[in-house]
Structure 1
């Protein structure tokens, strides 16, 4: 008898949820006006087209997923080099960002500003217009040259919602590993 009652409640609950649709979550705003994501974006991946030291012409891709229930559009992303012996400088004039569409094509996103601070090793990108929730976006950064020192390079990614006073949400580290493949930092001839 008890199992039948529990089963009846479970069926009634599932039946009641069938017609339910998820509604976007409102953003979180503190009394002082600071805006937070209701559900923060997620760092999906970080990749590079070339992983050898000294290489020219590489592109580093950072892919983020902004959930439907984020509550606010994505206004800004910062990418901070946290680890790696050589400082990676980016050619910001060639920076692009795009969103993946349902037909698996790429829709270019507008960038209002792309800046870099050498002292903090941080690259900042501001989207114009801000990116709506429910999108997967990829940021493509071109280094002037891959690092000259092999090893693991960690890039901390932080996302900011739209608003005059927004709180950045740290999404994690993009990890890129560069290999020497016979190059030596002591000799230009690889000895």
Structure 2
């Protein structure tokens, strides 16, 4: 992180003597590893259905890439860290849009706001989905990734999905953004029956 400190000192010095310096320059270490200057933020994670075993649901992850990120967003990984049942996804149905979901559960977006995705892959051992953007998402945008599970988990409980963002570059450092927390419930009407 020595390079990041030097970048901050150089930026402060340049500002104090009145030299214009682009603030959105990415941080790159000697070994070539690229970091965000200011990492993206996980704004919200929501699901369309909260009952177990429901088919046709969608898990939405909204991420803000700040203006001064310093680098475009190349990929996002979503890893299941907690939850009894392993969630499986229809990877070919993965979508991403510029915009957010509105209060009614729909997406606030225009047709042209759909983003082009590169490969969307799954690693079963680590329970991780990787979503690649092609082209990368430029700073100053809020994007929503829509993952389609085969079905909601069959076991109720809390499921934590860790979200990590990676800047563009051959060798990029992933920044953990936080957890999407989903609570799935057993059939809510089942208590009526013995």
| Alignment root-mean-square deviation, CA | 1.9
- Matched residue, 2:185: 179
1:174 counterpart SS class: strand
Give 1:182 deviation, angstroms.
4.2
Give 1:22 deviation, angstroms.
10
TM-score by length of 2: 0.80
- Matched residue, 1:147: 153
Give 1:44 deviation, angstroms.
0.4
- Matched residue, 2:116: 110
Q: Does 1:80 align with 2:79?
A: yes
Give 1:177 deviation, angstroms.
0.5
On the 8 A contact 1:24/1:68 being kept in 2, the answer is no
Q: Does 1:134 align with 2:140?
A: yes
- Matched residue, 2:49: 50
**1:10-29 matches, cutoff 5 A:** 24-29=23-28
Q: 5+ unaligned residues in a row in structure 2: which ranges?
A: 1-19, 101-107
Tell which structure's C-alpha radius of gyration is larger: 1
Partner deviation per Cα, 1:11-45 (whole Å, 9 max, x = no partner): xxxxxxxxxx9954211000000000000000000
Provide the rounded CA distance (Å) in 2 between the counterparts of 1:118 and 1:100: 29
On the 8 A contact 1:24/1:70 being kept in 2, the answer is no
Q: Does 1:69 align with 2:68?
A: yes
TM-score by length of 1: 0.82
Provide the rounded CA distance (Å) in 1 between the counterparts of 2:184 and 2:63: 22
- Between the two proteins, the alignment pairs up a number of residues equal to 164
1:45 counterpart SS class: strand
Q: Does 1:158 align with 2:174?
A: no
